[in-house]
Amino acid sequence: MVRHPLYLGNYLMWIGIVLFTKNISFTIIVSLMYWLYYERIMFAEERFLERKFGQSYLDWAKSIPAFIPRFSSFKKSTIPFSMKSVLRREYSGVLATVIGYVFVDAVINFKNWDVFYVSQKLLILLGVTAIMTLILRSLKHYTKLLNEEGRS
């Protein structure tokens, strides 16, 4: 569907936090800055892959858009979804996203009322997410509970 799914996912996480500010100008600026920064990284990665895999990579890349998904080319994965894999690998990204929302809430409240304040709901969400992150990180590093055969 897309050649750079990780960068698309990162953009969607960032833009979600930015949209929380309800500032369209800021949203446009962040989108442009993201594009300027990551476009160069994507270009460098693609040149590396072109040198490594040659014409087969170029043929594949011609048929897949770089950043905006082509949903008509969706193919169901042969590997089934695994919640264990998600829990093992994504806890830090979830925590970073929640921290982003808490930070934006604090900045907005400071800007509007000159007081450092974070909503109680976001503080509870941050606490629960931090505890879950510590638990999942511990399970990942000190047990084999989240390990699965054939998955990294």
Q: Is residue 99 part of a domain?
A: yes
Q: Is residue 149 part of a domain?
A: no
69 in the same domain as 33: yes
Q: Is residue 152 part of a domain?
A: no
In one-letter notation, the amino acid at residue 88 is: R
Residue 152 has a pLDDT of 78
Residues (pLDDT < 50) of the chain are none
Tokens 């829990």 correspond to what residue?
Answer: 87
- What distance in Å separates the CA atoms of residue 109 and residue 112, rounded to the nearest whole number? 5
6 in the same domain as 21: yes
103 in the same domain as 61: no
Residue 150 has a pLDDT of 84
47 in the same domain as 17: yes
88 in the same domain as 108: yes
Task: Give the number of domains in the chain.
Answer: 2
**Domain boundary pick from 22, 54, 75:** 75
12 in the same domain as 47: yes
**Domain boundary pick from 75, 109, 128:** 75
Do 3 and 64 contact (CB within 8 A), yes or no? yes
- What distance in Å separates the CA atoms of residue 131 and residue 124, rounded to the nearest whole number? 11
52 in the same domain as 95: no
84 in the same domain as 68: no
132 in the same domain as 92: yes
Residue 151 has a pLDDT of 86
Q: List all residues 6 or more positions away from 110 whose beta carbon is below 8 Å from its beta carbon.
A: 116, 117
**Domain boundary pick from 27, 44, 75:** 75
49-73 confidence digits (pLDDT tens): 999 999 999 999 999 999 999 999 8
Residue 9 has a pLDDT of 94
Residue 35 has a pLDDT of 96
Domain that holds residue 120: 76-144
56 in the same domain as 3: yes
What does pTM read for this prediction? 0.83
32-45 confidence digits (pLDDT tens): 999 999 999 999 99
